Amino acid sequence: MNWIDIHSDPELFWGVRGGGGNFGIVTRFRFKLCPLGPVMVGQWNYPIRHAKEAIGTLDELARSRPREFSVAFTLTSSSLSVTAVWVGDIAHAQQMLGPFGRLAQAGQGSIAHLPFVQLQSCNDDHFAWCRRYYAKGGFWRSITSNAIDTMLREVEAAPTPDSEFYVLQLGGAVADVPEDATAYSGRQAAYYWIAEPVWDDPADDERCIAWGRAAATRISDQSIQANYVNEQGDTAIAPGAYGARKYERLARLKARCDPANLFRLNQNIVPFPRPASA
């Protein structure tokens, strides 16, 4: 067992921050934490007929907000759900959050003061144990009109009412770290999107997974090259997710730490150069 940090093994410390479990089993982390008490949260629903206008307006507003603000939305075949979060001075909460309840006429919802753990658990029933899921995602620099049109076309054909596109805003502290400082890629992206069918009957596996794959493929045309390896229902995406330069660096690190590729049930990084017996 080894304790890894920037001083003891800077290359492995670089790799484990984004390397997807390819180098061993992490048994303990040490984090720098920041105090975070109750947060101000605005949640609104819009009918699907207003989704195109609402998403376009959301992007314009979100880009003008300070880093204490973040927004996410879920698009299904019937509605658009928007969640906006403010962790700054409570006196500015209405100013920062209120416009997201008026993206396209008036949305149905409100602003509330919530414990952060309650915010984190608000989708627990939707993503309950024993339900069935598939996910595939990518990064956007912005939400283009083509991306909005593609989402609306694809979600219209969604196989179940709970199947969705989920889009969350990035930036802030994520973008403070230089792209090459960790194996994680896509730090300059503005949003992350996920095409995610959700269903319950095993008999629907084939059609739900097929929709997820097809929808993600069509919307990925709008995405940047990098990707986040943990939100992928399919494997063998690591070379494209990290890019050629990072992937080669990760593969050489893999050859040092796990030359036999024991840790391979993941978005696998193949050791390079391969062991002589391989």
Give tens-digit pLDDT for 145-164. 999 999 999 999 999 999 99
Measured CA to CA, the distance from residue 157 to residue 35 in angstroms comes to 43
Q: Where, residue-wise, is CATH 3.40.462.20 in the chain?
A: 39-231
Share of the chain above pLDDT 70, in %: 98
Q: Dump pLDDT digits (tens) for 173-198.
A: 999 999 999 999 999 999 999 999 99
- Read off the pLDDT of residues 113-128 as tens digits, 9 standing for 90 and up: 999 999 999 999 999 9
Q: CA-to-CA distance for 270 and 253, rounded, in angstroms?
A: 10
Between 248 and 233, the higher pLDDT residue: 248
Q: How many helices (H) and strands (E) does the chain have?
A: 9, 9
Q: Which amino acid is at 11?
A: E
- Provide mean pLDDT across the span 42-48: 97
Question: Cβ(254)–Cβ(271) under 8 Å?
Answer: yes
39-231 maps to which CATH number?
3.40.462.20
Residue with tokens 């962790």: 87
Cβ atoms of residues 96 and 65 within 8 Å: yes
Mean pLDDT for the chain? 93
Q: Residue 277: its pLDDT value, please?
A: 56
User: Cβ(190)–Cβ(203) under 8 Å?
Assistant: no
Collapsed DSSP state (helix, strand, coil) of residue 14: helix
- 24: alpha, beta or left? (left if phi > 0; alpha if psi -120 to 50): left
- Is residue 148 a contact partner of residue 48, using CB atoms and an 8 Å limit? no
Q: At residue 94, what is the residue type?
A: Q
Structure tokens given for 8 = 């003891």
pTM reported for the whole predicted model: 0.92
Residue 275 — very low, low, confident or very high, per pLDDT cuts 50/70/90?
low
In the chain, the percentage of residues whose pLDDT exceeds 90 is 83
Rounded Cα–Cα distance for residues 179 and 181 (Å): 6
